Amino acid sequence: MKDYTAEVHGCHEFDATGALTTPVYLSATFRHPAFRQSTGYDYSRVANPTRSDFEKAIALLEGGKRAWALSSGMAAINLVFALCAPGDHVLLPEDLYGGTVRLANDIYSRYGIDFEYIDMRDTSLVEAKMRDTTKMIFIETPSNPMMFITDIRAFAAVAHEHGSLLVADNTFLSPHAQKPLALGADIVVESATKYLCGHNDVICGTLAVRDADSDLAQRIELLVKSEGPNLSPMDSWLMLRSLKTLGVRVERHAENARAIAAWLLTRPEVTEVYYPGLADHPGRALHESQSTGYGGMISFKVKTSAIAQNVLAHLRLIAFAESLGGVESLLTYPLVQTHAEMPRELIARTGLDDRLLRLSVGLEDVEDLKEDLAQALEKAARA
């Protein structure tokens, strides 16, 4: 089944009423037909029919066999780190979502897990950093917010040579534009709050694996069942609804972003634009070899930090807000917003600085977006 079809239909099976969409099963528990018998549903922490439909659709779309729908992207990444044991070593990228750094440094480090941050644009570096204890390599491509590209196939090969897992945070593209499991990753996580939801109204995470019965899948199932981080039936239904338009949204986000990125390059206030769809992006060819779109995220630098901060005050249409991937365009200031708790030495290594802005290009008319950015940049530069 092709993506557009999987997104619209998922694994929907018609019930006796013929309902075209999955009902919201707001039931905490399920009546057993008889002693030692189950309908397949016993208790909604373990499985719920609305959530199961969403999970099956995600597994299909990610090209995996099993997926879990969780209460946030961080809940998904938490499950990934919970696969580690004391003494394990984990490689993380230098440029990544700040919440992942907080989870690693402030929570899991205290349980004896050793996190090391490396430049994942350089494939040869990862080989040198592998240890006997390396449990997993965790990647983000494109990375947040510097838009670095990591070679998924090459990283999977290195991980597997050393008996390690490759985990990909695929949030910036969604499975419509990139399928890490098909390129060798063992686990793919999404902050489904972003493109999968697409409307800035649900917090959700997903996690998918290639095989349904592997030790890895069983371990994750045990964690989900025991820790209870699942998505509610109502949110699962909203996510099923969102999924139906994922393809048209993601492609239009990318189309708008390409136009805005090219236009930003012409602005006198702008000094650098980071977008994998631009001809001079150093990771462009690699990105094209492992994805089917450039995404809707652009980072750019302006001449001074004062301009960067003033732009935020002059926006009219675009909202100064964290998050990304929704229909509404959002502009954020990573140094103080999404990456506030990031260790300074890491930030210094990636080029993230006080002149950087990150734009999540929404689905508004591109001319209106340019007009808003133009007036905000002009006012900010004059101030």
Ligand X SMILES: *Cc1c(COP(=O)(O)O)cnc(C)c1O
**Are 50 and 236 contacting, i.e. CB atoms less than 8 angstroms apart?**
yes
User: Omega before 268 cis (within 30°)?
Assistant: no
Chain-centroid distance of CA 130 in Å reads 25
The residue from 3, 62, 94, 140 that contacts ligand X (CB under 6 A) is 140
With tokens 């003033």, the residue in question is 310
The interface region with ligand X, picked from 56-64, 87-95, 189-197, 349-357 by CB under 6 A, is 189-197
Residue 118, burial from CB neighbour count under 10 angstroms (0-12, 13-18, 19+): middle
Q: Report d(CA 90, CA 113) in Å as an integer.
A: 7
Interface with ligand X includes 151 (CB under 6 A)?
no
Nearer to ligand X, 337 or 375 (CB): 337
Phi, psi angles (nearest 5°) of residue 120: -90, 10
The residue from 10, 49, 64, 73 that contacts ligand X (CB under 6 A) is 73
Interface with ligand X includes 169 (CB under 6 A)?
yes
Write the CA distances from 369 to 264, 272, 376, integer angstroms: 11, 19, 11
Residue 264: CB minimum distance to ligand X, A: 21
Residue count (the chain):
383
Residue 172: CB minimum distance to ligand X, A: 6
Nearer to ligand X, 205 or 293 (CB): 205
Residue 168: CB minimum distance to ligand X, A: 10
Which tokens hold the place of 168? 């990909």
The interface region with ligand X, picked from 5-13, 70-78, 248-256, 344-352 by CB under 6 A, is 70-78
Residue 97: CB minimum distance to ligand X, A: 4
The residue from 145, 180, 205, 277 that contacts ligand X (CB under 6 A) is 205
Q: Report d(CA 51, CA 109) in Å as an integer.
A: 32
Chain-centroid distance of CA 200 in Å reads 14
Interface with ligand X includes 150 (CB under 6 A)?
no
Residue 266: CB minimum distance to ligand X, A: 28
Interface with ligand X includes 337 (CB under 6 A)?
no
- Position 171, amino acid: T
Residue 34: CB minimum distance to ligand X, A: 41
Q: Which residues are catalytic?
A: 45, 97, 169, 194
The residue from 57, 61, 69, 74 that contacts ligand X (CB under 6 A) is 74
Nearer to ligand X, 52 or 171 (CB): 171
Interface with ligand X includes 203 (CB under 6 A)?
yes
Q: Report d(CA 346, CA 178) in Å as an integer.
A: 27
Residue 121: CB minimum distance to ligand X, A: 17
Triad 85, 228, 323: Cα angle to 5°: 90
Q: Report d(CA 350, CA 338) in Å as an integer.
A: 15
Nearer to ligand X, 59 or 70 (CB): 70
In the region spanning residues 80 to 99, those forming contacts with ligand X, defined by CB under 6 A, are: 97, 99
> Residue with the closest Cβ to ligand X?
73
Q: Report d(CA 60, CA 2) in Å as an integer.
A: 10
In the region spanning residues 312 to 331, those forming contacts with ligand X, defined by CB under 6 A, are: none
Interface with ligand X includes 144 (CB under 6 A)?
yes
Nearer to ligand X, 64 or 73 (CB): 73
**Are 194 and 325 contacting, i.e. CB atoms less than 8 angstroms apart?**
yes
Interface with ligand X includes 334 (CB under 6 A)?
no
- Residue 68 CB partners (closer than 8 Å, separation 6+): 55, 76, 79, 206, 207, 208, 220, 221, 224, 230
Q: Report d(CA 215, CA 212) in Å as an integer.
A: 9
Nearer to ligand X, 94 or 269 (CB): 94
What residue ranges bind ligand X (CB under 6 A)?
A: 72-74, 97, 99, 140, 144, 169, 171, 191, 193-194, 203, 205
